[in-house]
Amino acid sequence: MNEYNSTSLKTPLLLGGAGGRLRVGVLGAAGYTGGELIRLLLNHPEAEIVFANSESNAGNMVSDVHEGLIGDTDLKFTSEMPFDDVDVVFFCFGHGKSEQFLKEHDVPASVKIIDLAQDFRIKGDHDYVYGLPEIHKEQVANAMHVANPGCFATCIQLGLLPAAKMGLINDDIAVNGITGSTGAGQKPGATTHFSWRNNNMSTYKLFTHQHLHEICQSLNEVSPADSPVIGSPIDEGGTVSIDFIPYRGDFARGIFVTSVIKTDVSGEDIIQAYKEFYKDAAFTHYTDKAIDLKQVVNTNKCLVHCDKFGNKLVVTTAIDNLLKGAVGQAVQNMNIMFGLPEDSGLRLKASAF
């Protein structure tokens, strides 16, 4: 077996797959996130999929559901969950289902869990680490259980974290973000139907989006002790608020966000702080050039750009909602947890052309 070492891990890890490869199980494998995760794992040099669980598709070929994998795998969905045969399991459930699943099933203590639902993202009576590597890499490296951040939460936080650390968030922040239709999941709905979504835009969950809680949690964590408490517009515990308006876009994947912060700090000092904050980040990059969505779609990157107009700082961020906003970041966390190179299996080409 191979030994994988990380400077932040207390002991090397011995893996039980063929040639010492990481053995992986996927729960909720038939949805968008499950399919995208399987695609990444099939091409991961240090991982092998032991099982892909889907009760409704048990016995069917994975490529019959995820047709983009035709010719890539002969893996079949299974209703079984052989946890004793894996090193790590991904929960690709809908929100609220992970906590219920753990109440009804026993996952061995030796098996690491990466949960893509929102059940354990907020600190509480559990041992899940919030898996945003840009601020929690060391904690992730030593974790048994990781709560993967939400898609909008990832994009918005990565735009605001350096500003929060600088103590720039002293007033309400206006945030606008547009997401592709895959963000709504695979189950068809009125607002994902092609004839409605095509050539159309709409807002939803104004000021009440569920990701606001985890966004505020992280921003308050990195802010100076004497900074105002950051909350959502309907959170009475916040002194300043993140005024977030989400939009549905007429494209399949990607998130594009602008955030406006009032500050008298010079643009030069802010840009330097942003570059310093992300200098060691594997996938989050500050760029001096204006960004667009196609630069990140199909990658695990987040691109960040700042513009200063008088006392207004405009921060623009972009990610792929299924990758850096979901399973790409989950695989990034898996790599960190097992002492693998952080970018293993994640060097992906953007769909810019």
Residues with catalytic roles: 151
Q: How many residues does the chain have?
A: 353
Dig out the tokens for 37 from the structure: 């995760």
Amino acid at position 45, single letter = P
The single-letter code of the amino acid at 302 is C
What single DSSP character describes residue 148? Answer: P
**CA 301 vs CA 37, 97, 231, 318, 343: distances in Å:** 16, 28, 27, 8, 11
CB neighbours of residue 111 within 10 Å: 17
Token duo for residue 14? 């011995």
- CA dist 259 and 267 (Å) reads 15
Burial class (CB in 10 A: 0-12, 13-18, 19+), 92: buried
CA dihedral of 151, 157, 158, 164, whole degrees rounded to 10: 180
Phi-psi map region of 264: left, alpha, beta (phi>0 left; psi -120 to 50 alpha): alpha
What's the rounded Cα separation, in Å, for the pair 277 and 291? 19
First to last CA, the chain: 41
Evaluate whether 283 touches 333 at the Cβ level (below 8 Å).
no
Indicate left, alpha or beta for 53 from its phi (over 0: left) and psi (-120 to 50: alpha). Answer: beta
**Contact (CB, 8 A) for 48 and 86:** no
- Residue 51 C-alpha from the chain's centroid: 22
d(CA 72, CA 204): 37
